[in-house]
Amino acid sequence: MGPLQGVRVVEFAGLGPGPFCGMLLADLGADVVRIDRRGARGGLLGSLGATSLLDRGKRSIALDLKEPADIAVVRALVERSDVLLEGFRPGVMERLGLGPEELLALRPSLVYGRMTGWGQTGPLASTAGHDIGYIALTGALFATGRPDERPAPPMNLLGDFGGGGVFLALGALAALLHARATGEGQVVDAAIVDGTAVLTTMIHGMLDAGVWRDRRGVNLLDTGAPFYDVYRCADGQFLAVGALEDQFYAALLEGLGVAGDESLPDRSDPGQWGALRERFTELFAARTRDEWWAVFSGTDACVAPVWSLLEATRDGHNRERGVFTEVDGVVQPEVAPRFSATPGRVGSVPHPGQHDEEIRAELGL
């Protein structure tokens, strides 16, 4: 049932990072009760699809938080829960009478997880935002893309899910360990700007060391280096190349058929990177993506095909390892990470209010 079996979580319906955090906990065995808005279709993510895979493995109760009787249901849920997750703007939960002061008095060991973009404090705390703005403010967006081109947002993976949901899950579990050791609950203030900034820690270290320039697309890991880039093949598809270390670069040249070619520009000289990229561009354009993959698959050249989202689900390695699974007819990512003794499980997606009677009965209502 997963390593979090027995952990009870209350999640207030929201968008993106909060539900993603709840999904991670549910995948690992926590009993996550999602409070959906009564009358909503497909949850608050209904506009993005008939179902949201971020709700998988959870149970749903539909409530109207303007009704005192339903606020009482929330309080009853909190009394028996370990973790609460909410993603409202600062002050909303307090106005509902469900702020940290009230709920920690009700349940002293409660981990009160708060998910926002800007944080609970600061001049932008009360303003609206989305992933693209949060990663812009931290400098992460500036650094993605090619020189002299507009920065390219990596969907909402970097901010919402990487800097937001994952850090909220980390914070919630760390606070839960503390609560179980001491009986003392606390507030976890997880802001996407905070988490995204932490993700750039290594780059800030490289900036300080003088081995990273504060420019886009001219560095070792941002497509500035021709041996860490993406190339178009004869069929218009792409290959990803990440041959950073010398031995991997040697394997790349071997696969390209240019090992020992003394006319090849020196990769250790950034001044020759442009000429080296031109040679690589010509070489990769001579064959299709799948032809090149037949050459490089199983080698240490650090070359991989750039699959589409659907192609990735059919990849041989992904299939053998079980990176994706099918539940209720929907192909989706499997649980990660993996546990040898207490494996997690992908659950079904509930519709809003599906477990109303069941949950109320558990609460004695």
**Confidence at residue 45, expressed as pLDDT on a 0 to 100 scale:** 44
Domain identity same for 121 and 266 = no
Q: Please state the pTM of the whole predicted model.
A: 0.94
Domain identity same for 245 and 176 = no
Which one of 160, 194, 222, 229 is the catalytic residue?
160
Average pLDDT over residues 299-324: 98
Average pLDDT over residues 272-295: 98
Residue 161 lies in a domain: yes
Does the pLDDT of residue 3 top 70, yes or no? yes
Instruction: Give the pLDDT confidence of 79-91 residue by residue, as tens digits.
Output: 999 999 999 999 9
Residue 210 lies in a domain: no
Domain identity same for 276 and 182 = no
**Confidence at residue 48, expressed as pLDDT on a 0 to 100 scale:** 52
Instruction: Give the pLDDT confidence of 121-134 residue by residue, as tens digits.
Output: 999 999 999 999 99
**Confidence at residue 202, expressed as pLDDT on a 0 to 100 scale:** 98
Number of domains in the chain: 2
Residue 51 lies in a domain: yes
Residue burial 335-347, b: 16+ Cβ < 10 Å; e: rest = beeeeeeeebbbb
Residue 221 lies in a domain: no
Domain identity same for 248 and 146 = no
**Confidence at residue 51, expressed as pLDDT on a 0 to 100 scale:** 58
Domain identity same for 47 and 182 = yes
Domain identity same for 192 and 298 = no
Give the confidence band of 43 by pLDDT, cuts at 50, 70, 90: very low
Domain identity same for 142 and 269 = no
Domain identity same for 142 and 250 = no
- Active site annotation includes 222: no
Residue 289 lies in a domain: yes
**Confidence at residue 40, expressed as pLDDT on a 0 to 100 scale:** 63
Does the pLDDT of residue 38 top 80, yes or no? yes
Residue 242: CATH number of its domain: 3.30.1540.10
Residue 268 lies in a domain: yes
Which one of 70, 130, 178, 315 is the catalytic residue?
130
- Active site annotation includes 160: yes
Give the confidence band of 1 by pLDDT, cuts at 50, 70, 90: confident
Structural domain containing residue 244: 228-308
Kindly state the percentage of the chain with pLDDT values over 70: 97
Average pLDDT over residues 186-209: 98
Mean pLDDT of the chain: 95
Does the pLDDT of residue 243 top 80, yes or no? yes
Average pLDDT over residues 55-64: 96
- φ/ψ of 60, rounded to 5, equals -125, 135
Does the pLDDT of residue 97 top 80, yes or no? yes
Residue 148: CATH number of its domain: 3.40.50.10540
